[in-house]
A and B are shown apart, each in its own frame.
Chain A
Amino acid sequence: MRNSVRNPSENITAFLWCTVTLLSLSWYPLTAFYLPTTIHYTTPLWFSYATLFVAVVTGLATAKLLVLEFEKKTLFIVFVASALFGSLIPFPYNIPALFLVAATSLRSLALLLKTKRSTEMISATSTSLFVCGLVLGLQAAVLPFFVLFASRFHRIDWLAPLLSTLFQMLGSSASQAHGDLFVQYADRVYSLIPSWEALGLYPALNILMGGFLFFSLMSMPRRSYVFLLLTLAIYMVMRYIGLVYALLELEKASVFWRVDVMTISILPLILFLSVLFKFPSREQVIQFHFLNRASVKPSLTFSVLLVVLCLSATGFFGFVDPGERKQGRILIDEKHSNWEWTTEEFNTTWYGERSTYNYYSLAQFLKYYYHVDQKAEDITDALLAEYDILFIKTPTEPFSETEIVAIKRFVERGGGLLLIGDHTNVFGITTNLNPLASQFGAAFRYDGQYDVSGELSVYRRPVVLPHPVVQQMPAFMFATGCMLDAPLLAENAIIGYGIKSVYLDYSRPNFFPKDARNTETMEFGLFVQAAGIPFGKGRVFLFTDSTVWSNFYMFIPGKPELLLGIMEWLNRKNTFLVNAKPFFLLLTLISFAAVLFTARRLKKGEIVFVSLLVGLSFTPLTIFALEQLNKEAYPAPQPHTRYLEVNFEAEHSDFELPVLHTTQRTEKSYHTFYVWLQRLGYVPRLAPSFQEALKGDVVVILNPTQAFRPEELHAANEFLKRGGKLLLLDDPARSGHAMANQFLAGVGSELTMHNHPPTPISIRKKPDDTTRIATYAAGEVRGGTALLVARGRRPEPGESFYPVADGHDHRHDEHGHQHFYPGDLRRATPQGGLPPVDFVPRGSISSLQPPIDTLADRPIMAVEAIGEGRLVAAATSFLFTDREMGFTSTRPNDKQRRIYELEYWIFEEVLGLRK
């Protein structure tokens, strides 16, 4: 008869593996390495919190196997070290420390309590939290190494033959070539790339770390470590096969990265691990505790080695040679590039795609900070001798051998080289760049880069140890670049996450891959998107997306900051400290081996205690020190020439710019209006707060929907009095001008805005301008000096327009704010009667037959002098939306040209900014 009595440790084993697995999965949304970066995707952090909670609950079983006994001093020390780590290191990397803080706090509470039952419960919880904290801590410690590996290594070509065989054994038609796996389903052949990320390396590594920790705590035999590694490898291969079948069934490549699929596919592992790896019962476990002074006193050698390990590892990932600042003389190569021109002026007479896929604004902006020349000459030693930085962007022509040698020599001698590539070898850019990049061990890849969901990806700099290049940079939206093969020791300026690489398709326009949104032929996860390579005395910086600095994106938040960050990094000559990185790596490896060696002579309790003490205290302090050092060494540069800054206030205004996503609603987007200021030579800027906006020369408030605070109104008044210019643009449909009027009154203006129903109107300058602009929506501005007037007009035959309501609708934006968008209303024609506009509030549309009530002009824009400044209020912001002005690449029609001229007139004449 089979013995049906089960070993009690079996259940405990299952619980512990459950804890390890859940803790491992919790990192998945927290780090979001494989999840979409677009703002349209909400990272399911709740999943992490839930898994952490359940992990702690299942981890209560550890109390059956582990007994943690602290004396008050050690408890206090661990608490303080954890608290230090938790406060200095940002979320989510401080979670392990927070767990330890909670564990030590609870243990302290248990010491105070007298009831045995509550003490046991609290102790068990404390033990669970402590062990979970240890597991999470170990997983967090290997994270930087994982990122380094995962950003470089994706494909597992050698796995394709094995996978092909396995699929054939399962009855599928499969084959492989060049490391690609082909599986046929129905009448389609799916081409797959076996990769570490598709295999699930990240959760597997986390589980491995957790398993190893448990094995070492419970003195499992050494062969268990190897078996665990093998088990995970086999499981992950099987899981991959399962995912491929899910892909074939669902036809969604997202099965490889989705949180739900990841969870469902990993959870069965708990069952296998529980069966294969049983932890010994309580009697077999060696207890570790920090009771007496002798056992707490750590081995000095071990401590010192740990400190060295912490310092060197942190130094390897975070230290950047401060370098020796150069003169900042930049040469932009125009000979090899017939794209993103810097020499063709972005002015008020030249429009179309070529005018905006253009680096003119970039070059002008750099000239405020550095000495910049653009030359279309062969690159020679003599030419380069006059410059500190060589700026090479989107080369459409190859470099000659002699030019490559000259450039390499230039870098060796201390020059800075910037290489800017783009997606899918468009115009042969990658082909032309790589002979140069390969001199420094790097290569641009022949792919397109997307967010894993297929959108444009958004990058947020690391919360820990950002590279100096990005330390000033806010969230940054890429515009489809490529990936980079960078050397392992290169400085990782931008390691993109949540992105995918899809190989180009030469059969399609601009070689964009077909169905990039849902193709299964992809690599995904972490990729190097920008890297710096110190070489000799000089430096090379490689960036993979040229479009981000095209005129139409140049002054979108993130772009100028990144550009200046790169230039500052390149404008340095290497010092002897440039060799610190390999040195730190070597030291890390040596000290790690030494730590392992010396640890053999120590008790488990000592190892854990000393590791915690050193790791929790030295790591955050080193990180903090390095971050400060980088900030000091690479401060934001100051312009040597003053430029005129037009700040668009974002705190109270309601409009869209392509900051974190492309603007979908043209009736809400003011992108063209924003970019066209560059045609006048101004630098537009999106200021996140009103106070920030007031630091510029001109402030633009667009469709205010939030009330202004008294101190803001006071500051605005002061700004105007000392000569500032302020443009307030509002739309009557937004809020009935309520916020605009609150602002006007608050700054002491006599101007007031008034609502008018949406009717066909024509706008002209006052008093004697004959040019008129036909539009529909404008309020009225009373007081001050009227500069722009509107009068009713009859609609053209067949003309359609967007009826505008004068109240709020009930729609909410992505932030939950209520807004009313004129363009959201359905189109109606004067002849067609009222369409079913069910979301329009009652009585909000006055009439679709425009009441030509009067032919008298009504003022829609007026100016008022306040102190030395000027306040301009216009009740016709809709006129300046992308819907009316067109896109930045538009070849304007007559009406659009008139609107452009109006914009230029407002800024140059009305606000008095003409140079």
Chain B
Amino acid sequence: MLMYLGAICLTNALFVSLLHSVAERIQFSVGDISLHPMNLLFVLLFMDSVPLYFFVRERELARLQYQFTLKQWKPVVVVFLFFIIASSTMLIPALSLRGNSENSLLILDKGEFNWDKPRFGQYGLRAAGMFGMLPAYLETMGYELKKDSLLTGDNLEGVKVVIVINLNSVVAEQEKERIKQFVYDGGSLLVLGDHTDMMGVMGPLNTLIDFVNIRYKFDSAHYLKRDWRDSFEQFPHAIFTGITDETDVGISVGASLEFSPLHAKPVLAAKYGFSDAGDYMNTQNAYLGDRRYNQGELLGDLILVAEAPYGKGKVLVFGDTSSFQNGSLAYTYTFVQNVLRYLSRTEDNFFDVFFRTGFFLSFLLGIFSCFLVVKIQYNPAIVLWVSLLVLSTSVVIHTMADYEMEIVGQPSPIAYIDASHLNRFTAYGDDGIWALTYHLMRNNYLPVVSRTFSSELMEKSAVAIFISPAKALQASELETIDKYIRSGGVVIWSVGYEEKESSKEILTKYGFDIDNVPLGPIPRTETNAGIRFKKAWPVMFQGSEPIDTICTGWSYPVIAATSLEKGKFVLVADAHFFLAENLEANHTFSKSNDLFLSVIQHTQRPGNLVEQQ
């Protein structure tokens, strides 16, 4: 046994020592494919499995009996039940979001940030402002937000969560003591910081939270794979309930954190990423390092979010502010809601206590039952069968934990953007919808990108936008859309001839089709509405309902709408119409932006009328 363990250790040590040089060598050989050392970790799986194979083969497999008879049901049931109970504990994080919560938040309005929103006259990916849209989203979630540049005893009264963002000056000792006491008494502190001591925020933030032993490092936690693809390690936590995609967490490049394991715990780590050392000489670019992995920099397992309990309260620290910024909120609204719901919870609810206790008991019970099974009758077939059962049950239980955004207040109309049908757009590229979300924000809409088809969310939205879905809608979804339109909703469907296969049913339902006449990019001078298209096709009408041609290009109808009871279905025969390449680039803006808003404004749904600037 020891020999095999030794072999595995040696193998791993050898691998790690050679990792960088091997990676460089392979990179040289493979040329155009970009590799980093962590791409090679899978090799360990094979290397370690060799001694493991010999170990199992020599010591274990030869003795195993693989037959399983029904007479052996008792241990199966025991083990299965244990795992079911254990699996149920996965619900804890999700259920712990339920229960009573207080809705008063206080933002310390002091630090390196602003409340700008996307506004007319400023265009481009970087023209989103910072936190200007956050209050509106928070209000939608039912929170009451207060801002104050000083923490006093009075303004903390009735507040459940204090939010500190990019604090750039050390808080006074009294103020700090007040915060400590606030947390100790059951309040929550949410701290958002940024990378490489940008604008001098590292020191003040570290001073503020030193009572929970969490610190910002002078670095940037940098991704190895673009946009943190598959790079996050989400520890079981309430804030990740319903989060399935890295984009929905919204972390970009922030600082990594360090903490004392005795006092704090990691919440979100970057499995694949590196700690890019900051450079105070780089004054032009926020003290960032070279943004490339260099040997010697910490590789993997960077802490991006950490949490520490303090008294009855808790402190949640983010190394990056992006999740809460305007540019991300369309994607991160669920995550933001989770964070605030978690922090504003008043006390442990019944489910939480029940499941925590259940988990502990089932763990003890499980160990005991496993011991009994092994003692009485060791049969690998049992393990195999039980494992399969447990796996499938766990998946089912896990899916039960999903939940959706709750719309409580509605100060601004919501624009629902569907991302649940393999819609052909990205978040921030040329083919991204950032320009669309910015423009919706400019017009006081709250864009919400939904990765699951949510009828509840759609019902509360003023407009639902579907861009070039590659996956056909189910009958029930079509029915939901129809109900939504008839009740006054506006559905805007953007698709071209080449992508229409998955949209066939809904187009047919509303009497539309798209002709195979490529109109390509139509300049604004060639459309009657003075807007431009990227890849347009003519709309064809087949139904009996009256059709309203909203825009023609080269005399072909390219945007048309049909009214159904109180609402409208609008077809934009250009799959690229709402993408950044058509709407907005740095410093330029297309009038195409305005047209769809005017469509929405003419509907009868309450809350749709927005002020056009």
B29-37, B89-97, B133-141, B364-372 - the one binding chain A: B29-37
CB-defined interface of B569-613 with A at 8 Å, one 1/0 digit per residue?
A: 000000010000000000000000000000000000000000000
Say yes or no: A177-B423 contact (C-beta < 8 A), given A187-B247, A254-B33. no
CB-defined interface of A149-182 with B at 8 Å, one 1/0 digit per residue?
A: 0000000000000000000000001110110001
A249 to B423: give the CA distance in the assembly, Å. Answer: 20
A114-122, A378-386, A503-511, A750-758 - the one binding chain B: A503-511
The reply to whether B423 and A511 form a contact with Cβ atoms under 8 Å apart is no
Say yes or no: A507-B576 contact (C-beta < 8 A), given A182-B470, A187-B426. yes
Say yes or no: A250-B520 contact (C-beta < 8 A), given A184-B422, A186-B229, A189-B422. no
Q: Which of B438-459 contact A (CB under 8 A)?
A: none
- Interface assignment of A185: CB less than 8 Å from any CB of chain B: yes
The reply to whether B470 and A175 form a contact with Cβ atoms under 8 Å apart is yes
The reply to whether B422 and A186 form a contact with Cβ atoms under 8 Å apart is no
A187 to B247: give the CA distance in the assembly, Å. Answer: 7
Give the chain B neighbours of A260 by CB distance below 8 A. Answer: 29-30
A382 to B229: give the CA distance in the assembly, Å. Answer: 67
The reply to whether B227 and A187 form a contact with Cβ atoms under 8 Å apart is yes
Q: Which of B494-550 contact A (CB under 8 A)?
A: 501-502, 518-521, 534-535
CB-defined interface of B56-84 with A at 8 Å, one 1/0 digit per residue?
A: 00000110000000000000000000000
The reply to whether A511 and B229 form a contact with Cβ atoms under 8 Å apart is no
The reply to whether B246 and A186 form a contact with Cβ atoms under 8 Å apart is yes
Q: How far apart are A237's CB and chain B's nearest CB, in angstroms?
A: 21
Partner of B422, one of A182, A249, A254, A507: A182
Give the chain A neighbours of B107 by CB distance below 8 A. Answer: none
A574 to B32: give the CA distance in the assembly, Å. Answer: 50
Which of A178, A182, A189 is packed against the most chain B CB atoms within 10 Å?
A189
| Residue tally, chain A, CB below 8 Å to B | 28
The reply to whether A175 and B422 form a contact with Cβ atoms under 8 Å apart is yes
Give the chain A neighbours of B32 by CB distance below 8 A. Answer: 252, 254
A4 to B29: give the CA distance in the assembly, Å. Answer: 41
- Interface assignment of B427: CB less than 8 Å from any CB of chain A: yes
CB-defined interface of A182-194 with B at 8 Å, one 1/0 digit per residue?
A: 1011111101000
- Interface assignment of A815: CB less than 8 Å from any CB of chain B: no
Closest Cβ neighbor of A255 among chain B residues: B33
Q: How far apart are A345's CB and chain B's nearest CB, in angstroms?
A: 33
Q: How far apart are A836's CB and chain B's nearest CB, in angstroms?
A: 22
Q: How far apart are B334's CB and chain A's nearest CB, in angstroms?
A: 15
The reply to whether A177 and B501 form a contact with Cβ atoms under 8 Å apart is yes
Tell me whether chain A's interface is mostly helix, strand or loop, or mixed.
mixed
- Interface assignment of B424: CB less than 8 Å from any CB of chain A: yes
- Interface assignment of A1: CB less than 8 Å from any CB of chain B: yes
A189 to B34: give the CA distance in the assembly, Å. Answer: 21
Give the chain B neighbours of A182 by CB distance below 8 A. Answer: 422, 470-471
The reply to whether B423 and A189 form a contact with Cβ atoms under 8 Å apart is yes
- Interface assignment of B401: CB less than 8 Å from any CB of chain A: no
A188 to B230: give the CA distance in the assembly, Å. Answer: 13
Partner of A505, one of B33, B501, B535: B535
- Interface assignment of A600: CB less than 8 Å from any CB of chain B: no
Q: How far apart are A335's CB and chain B's nearest CB, in angstroms?
A: 24
Give the chain B neighbours of A1 by CB distance below 8 A. Answer: 62
- Interface assignment of B245: CB less than 8 Å from any CB of chain A: yes
The reply to whether B470 and A189 form a contact with Cβ atoms under 8 Å apart is yes
Partner of A189, one of B227, B424, B518: B424
Which of B230, B424, B472, B518 is packed against the most chain A CB atoms within 10 Å?
B518
Partner of A185, one of B29, B229, B470: B229
A260 to B27: give the CA distance in the assembly, Å. Answer: 13
Give the chain B neighbours of A223 by CB distance below 8 A. Answer: none
Say yes or no: A175-B576 contact (C-beta < 8 A), given A2-B62, A189-B424. no
Partner of A507, one of B29, B30, B61, B534: B534
Closest Cβ neighbor of B427 among chain A residues: A187
Which of A187, A191, A506 is packed against the most chain B CB atoms within 10 Å?
A187
The reply to whether A507 and B246 form a contact with Cβ atoms under 8 Å apart is no
Q: How far apart are A404's CB and chain B's nearest CB, in angstroms?
A: 21
The reply to whether A2 and B426 form a contact with Cβ atoms under 8 Å apart is no
A866 to B385: give the CA distance in the assembly, Å. Answer: 97
A459 to B520: give the CA distance in the assembly, Å. Answer: 32
Closest Cβ neighbor of B428 among chain A residues: A187
The reply to whether B535 and A186 form a contact with Cβ atoms under 8 Å apart is no
Q: How far apart are A181's CB and chain B's nearest CB, in angstroms?
A: 9
A654 to B576: give the CA distance in the assembly, Å. Answer: 48
Give the chain A neighbours of B225 by CB distance below 8 A. Answer: 249
Give the chain B neighbours of A174 by CB distance below 8 A. Answer: 422
Q: How far apart are B43's CB and chain A's nearest CB, in angstroms?
A: 12
Partner of B520, one of A187, A251, A507: A507
A401 to B519: give the CA distance in the assembly, Å. Answer: 25
Give the chain A neighbours of B576 by CB distance below 8 A. Answer: 507
Q: How far apart are A673's CB and chain B's nearest CB, in angstroms?
A: 34
Closest Cβ neighbor of A509 among chain B residues: B521
The reply to whether B247 and A186 form a contact with Cβ atoms under 8 Å apart is yes
A174 to B470: give the CA distance in the assembly, Å. Answer: 9
A491 to B227: give the CA distance in the assembly, Å. Answer: 50
Say yes or no: A250-B502 contact (C-beta < 8 A), given A184-B422, A187-B426, A189-B424. no
Q: How far apart are A168's CB and chain B's nearest CB, in angstroms?
A: 10
A254 to B230: give the CA distance in the assembly, Å. Answer: 21
Say yes or no: A252-B33 contact (C-beta < 8 A), given A186-B245, A189-B423. yes
A590 to B328: give the CA distance in the assembly, Å. Answer: 68
Q: How far apart are A433's CB and chain B's nearest CB, in angstroms?
A: 16
Closest Cβ neighbor of B500 among chain A residues: A177
The reply to whether A175 and B426 form a contact with Cβ atoms under 8 Å apart is no
CB-defined interface of B206-249 with A at 8 Å, one 1/0 digit per residue?
A: 00000000000000000001110110000000000000011100
The reply to whether B501 and A178 form a contact with Cβ atoms under 8 Å apart is yes
A511 to B519: give the CA distance in the assembly, Å. Answer: 11
Q: How far apart are B322's CB and chain A's nearest CB, in angstroms?
A: 15
A188 to B521: give the CA distance in the assembly, Å. Answer: 23
A184 to B470: give the CA distance in the assembly, Å. Answer: 10
Give the chain A neighbours of B61 by CB distance below 8 A. Answer: 2
The reply to whether A4 and B471 form a contact with Cβ atoms under 8 Å apart is no
The reply to whether B521 and A507 form a contact with Cβ atoms under 8 Å apart is yes
The reply to whether B472 and A175 form a contact with Cβ atoms under 8 Å apart is yes
Give the chain B neighbours of A188 by CB distance below 8 A. Answer: 426
Q: How far apart are B433's CB and chain A's nearest CB, in angstroms?
A: 10
Closest Cβ neighbor of B496 among chain A residues: A506
Which of B33, B423, B519 is packed against the most chain A CB atoms within 10 Å?
B33
The reply to whether B470 and A250 form a contact with Cβ atoms under 8 Å apart is no
The reply to whether A250 and B426 form a contact with Cβ atoms under 8 Å apart is no
A185 to B227: give the CA distance in the assembly, Å. Answer: 11
The reply to whether B227 and A175 form a contact with Cβ atoms under 8 Å apart is no
Give the chain B neighbours of A254 by CB distance below 8 A. Answer: 32-33
Q: Which of B16-58 contact A (CB under 8 A)?
A: 29-30, 32-34
Give the chain B neighbours of A186 by CB distance below 8 A. Answer: 226-227, 229-230, 245-247
Q: Which of A108-156 contact B (CB under 8 A)?
A: none
Closest Cβ neighbor of A503 among chain B residues: B498
A508 to B581: give the CA distance in the assembly, Å. Answer: 11
A106 to B104: give the CA distance in the assembly, Å. Answer: 91
A191 to B226: give the CA distance in the assembly, Å. Answer: 19
List, sorted by A's number, 19 A–B pairs whose CB atoms are closer than 8 Å.
A174-B422, A175-B471, A177-B470, A177-B502, A182-B471, A185-B229, A186-B226, A186-B230, A186-B246, A187-B425, A187-B427, A188-B426, A189-B423, A191-B470, A250-B33, A252-B32, A252-B33, A255-B33, A507-B534
Top 5 A-B pairs ranked by shortest CB distance? A507-B535, A175-B471, A177-B501, A182-B470, A506-B518
- Other 15 A-B pairs with CB < 8 A, given A1-B62, A254-B33: A175-B470, A175-B472, A177-B470, A177-B502, A182-B470, A187-B247, A189-B423, A189-B424, A191-B424, A254-B32, A255-B33, A506-B520, A506-B521, A506-B535, A507-B576
Q: A-contacting residues of B (Cβ < 8 Å)?
A: 29-30, 32-34, 61-62, 225-227, 229-230, 245-247, 421-427, 470-472, 501-502, 518-521, 534-535, 576
Q: B-contacting residues of A (Cβ < 8 Å)?
A: 1-2, 4, 173-175, 177-178, 182, 184-189, 191, 249-252, 254-255, 260, 505-508, 511
